[in-house]
C-alpha cells in the first residue's frame, strides 16, 4: 500500500483529498503547514507527497527545495489557478508534476498513479552481463544497443540466468523459477528454451553468454570468465 503525505493548509481540500485517497486504498498523513510537512517528510517513509505551494510558515517551493537536497521522493505540487510562474519554478525545483486547483479527484488520482509508476520504473535495476542488458521495467533486452525480441518465457528464463550470473542452475531449478512449482511438464522444456535464447543471442551476435554444464545445467557468464 502506498503512503501519501498531503501538505495543505486548506482544511476542506485536505480532508476531501484524504477521504478520496483513503477510499482508493492509500495510506494518508496530513500536515497543515510547510514546516510540519518538511519534518514529516524527513521523519517518515512516504511514496509520494502532495504539496500545496501557498502554505504558512514555509511555502511549498521552499519545502521542495529543502526536500530535494536529500530525497528524490515524487512530489506533485498543488498550484493556484493560472499561476504559471509557480509551475515553471516548481518543475525547475524538482517537482515531478503539478495540478491546478480546483482539480477533479479523477485527475489527481491519475497523476498520482503516473508518478508512482514512474518511481517504480526508476527503482527497477538494469540487469547486465557485459554488453547484454535487460531493462526489467521496460521489458527490453539488448546487445550493444541492438534490440533482442524475446517471448515472455524467454525473457524470464534470461532474467533468471542474469540474476544468477556465473552460478550453475540445474534444469529443475530453472523449471521451478521460470515455469513455477506446479508445472508438470518435461524438464527438457528448459533445453528447448535455452536453444531459443542461444539462437537469439549467442548465434546472432557470435557471443558466448550461455554455457552448458554437462550433467548439471546452465550458467550465464562473460566469455572471458570461461574456465
Ligand atoms: Ca494553501
Across 111-129, average pLDDT: 84
Q: Give yes or no for residue 227 having a pLDDT over 50.
A: no
Structure confidence at residue 211 as a pLDDT band (50, 70, 90): very high
Mean pLDDT for the chain?
89
Across 37-61, average pLDDT: 94
* pLDDT at 83 (0 to 100): 65
pLDDT per position as a tens digit, 162-185: 999 999 999 989 988 898 866 666
Ligand 1 centroid from CA 52, angstroms: 6
Q: Give yes or no for residue 218 having a pLDDT over 70.
A: yes
Across 103-125, average pLDDT: 86
* pLDDT at 226 (0 to 100): 45
Lowest mean pLDDT among 106-115, 124-133, 184-193: 184-193
Ligand 1 centroid from CA 32, angstroms: 9
Ligand 1 centroid from CA 83, angstroms: 13
Ligand 1 centroid from CA 14, angstroms: 10
Ligand 1 centroid from CA 104, angstroms: 17
Across 150-160, average pLDDT: 94
Ligand 1 centroid from CA 72, angstroms: 23
Ligand 1 centroid from CA 59, angstroms: 9
CB < 8 Å & 24+ apart, contacts of 130-139:
130/209, 130/222, 130/223, 132/162, 132/201, 132/207, 132/209, 134/158, 134/159, 134/162
Amino acid at each position: 500500500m502506498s503512503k501519501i503525505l498531503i501538505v495543505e493548509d486548506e482544511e476542506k481540500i485536505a480532508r476531501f483529498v484524504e477521504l478520496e485517497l483513503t477510499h482508493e486504498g492509500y495510506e494518508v498523513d496530513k500536515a497543515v503547514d510547510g514546516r510540519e510537512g518538511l519534518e514529516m517528510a524527513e521523519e517518515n517513509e512516504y511514496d509520494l507527497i502532495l504539496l500545496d505551494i501557498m502554505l504558512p510558515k514555509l511555502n511549498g517551493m521552499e519545502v521542495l527545495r529543502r526536500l530535494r537536497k536529500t530525497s528524490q521522493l515524487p512530489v506533485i505540487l498543488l498550484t493556484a489557478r493560472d499561476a504559471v510562474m509557480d509551475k515553471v519554478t516548481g518543475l525547475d525545483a524538482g517537482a515531478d508534476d503539478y495540478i491546478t486547483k480546483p482539480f477533479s479527484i479523477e485527475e489527481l488520482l491519475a497523476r498520482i498513479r503516473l508518478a508512482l509508476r514512474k518511481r517504480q520504473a526508476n527503482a527497477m535495476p538494469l540487469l547486465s552481463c557485459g554488453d547484454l542488458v535487460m531493462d526489467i521495467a521496460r521489458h527490453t533486452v539488448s546487445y550493444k544497443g541492438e534490440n533482442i525480441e524475446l517471448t515472455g518465457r524467454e525473457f524470464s528464463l534470461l532474467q533468471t540466468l542474469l540474476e544468477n550470473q556465473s552460478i550453475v542452475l540445474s534444469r529443475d531449478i530453472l523449471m521451478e523459477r521460470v515455469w513455477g512449482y506446479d508445472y508438470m511438464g518435461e524438464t527438457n522444456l528448459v533445453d528447448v528454451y535455452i536453444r531459443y535464447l542461444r539462437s537469439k543471442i549467442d548465434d546472432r551476435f557470435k557471443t558466448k553468454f550461455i554455457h552448458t554444464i554437462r550433467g548439471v545445467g546452465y550458467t550465464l557468464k562473460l566469455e572471458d570468465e570461461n574456465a
